[in-house]
Structure 1
């Protein structure tokens, strides 16, 4: 039996995951400390001691998302298990798969943070740019494999367009767009770009 006054033990990684899910789904402003207390089951003092204030919790949650989701996307783009354009297609299909197969309309936490907080908070902006830079670099490398004779400037522009399409599809998913329309949009754009 726990001694009186002794803080309850908890798993920091599991708790951070819960905090991340909350910010990812609701955004910064719509997530209150009372929501974090409710979802984690921890008191304010324990949360502050482990994760800092709400702003610090948000930054840690966004950084955790980067290590879980962005780094995974980068690994898929860099994988040699599929042809370069197939990897690009898988990357662009991820928002559609999330909606179609998992009914997941949270979008991308990184994209959400770009719209939600980046213009208001330099710390968030730095994390957003770091995440996008990782994706941009991986996309550039993959497109360079697909178009080895392509000029580096054109490859860089294509990478930026692909990243913009991805972000747009993630936003479309939050706006309750159908998976069918998202698929049609993705296909039309990549055909226009000459990626297929």
Structure 2
């Protein structure tokens, strides 16, 4: 007797990496609350069931998008911090690399997914935890790089430099989304890098004067 059971179609193959890139772009443009499942479906070209199978619910998709954005930063921008021994050049290049991520082109700036959209949803415990981790990671990154170039600086001097370096990057996301030109922010990044190195050198000079006296 012939088998009359209907044949199943081939399962749909989903390019999860490309789909997640679309999810990241959507969330960092509109934020968590303003994005609907229909928006996510339109952006990825996937049906709701396919989205759920690939990424879970909207909350899970946002958390995954935050992680994916962080990975992109670690792979494409962070290496600039270690490409040269000169601290000013390293910070300048890092800010420029981050701004290349914040801007789709020289005019359109969706900004930073983590620092730009997560604060408005920080009442959610998991989103808040990811935001806190992102800030802590940025501070640790800056502290390690600055300390390497200023081994004789005091803890308070390093703290001041780290705060300036980290807060500049966090502010760039808001400035970008508010309409600031990329080239202007690149200049501010270079100015910040110079201010940090000048501050450390100035403090070292004062220390030297005190030791001579």
Instruction: Give the TM-score category using the shorter length.
Output: 0.7 to 0.9
Cα gap change, 1:101/1:21 in structure 2, threshold over 3 Å: closer, same or farther?
closer
2:151 aligned with 1:148, yes or no?
yes
In structure 2, the partner of 1:83 is 86
2:167 aligned with 1:164, yes or no?
yes
In structure 1, the partner of 2:64 is 60
User: What residue ranges of structure 2 are gaps of 5+ in the alignment?
Assistant: 1-6, 202-213
In structure 1, the partner of 2:40 is 36
TM-score by length of 2: 0.77
1:88–1:142 CA contact under 8 A, matched in 2: no
2:29 aligned with 1:25, yes or no?
yes
Which residue of 155, 176, 190 corresponds with 1:173? 176
In structure 2, the partner of 1:92 is 95
Cα gap change, 1:69/1:190 in structure 2, threshold over 3 Å: closer, same or farther?
closer
RMSD, aligned α-carbons = 2.6
Structure 1 stretch displaced more, 28-37 or 171-180: 171-180
TM-score by length of 1: 0.83
Q: Distance in 2 between matches of 1:184 and 1:103?
A: 16
2:114 aligned with 1:110, yes or no?
yes
Instruction: Output one character per residue of 1:5-42: Cα deviation in whole Å (capped at 9) or x when no partner.
Output: 65421112221121111111221122110011111121
1:73–1:91 CA contact under 8 A, matched in 2: yes
* Deviation at residue 74 of structure 1 after TM alignment: 2.9
Q: Distance in 1 between matches of 2:145 and 2:181?
A: 28
Greater gyration radius: 2
2:55 aligned with 1:51, yes or no?
yes
SS in 2 for 1:103: coil
Cα gap change, 1:26/1:4 in structure 2, threshold over 3 Å: closer, same or farther?
farther
1:113–1:128 CA contact under 8 A, matched in 2: no
2:114–2:131 CA contact under 8 A, matched in 1: yes
Aligned length: 192
Structure 1 stretch displaced more, 178-187 or 33-42: 178-187
Cα gap change, 1:96/1:16 in structure 2, threshold over 3 Å: closer, same or farther?
closer
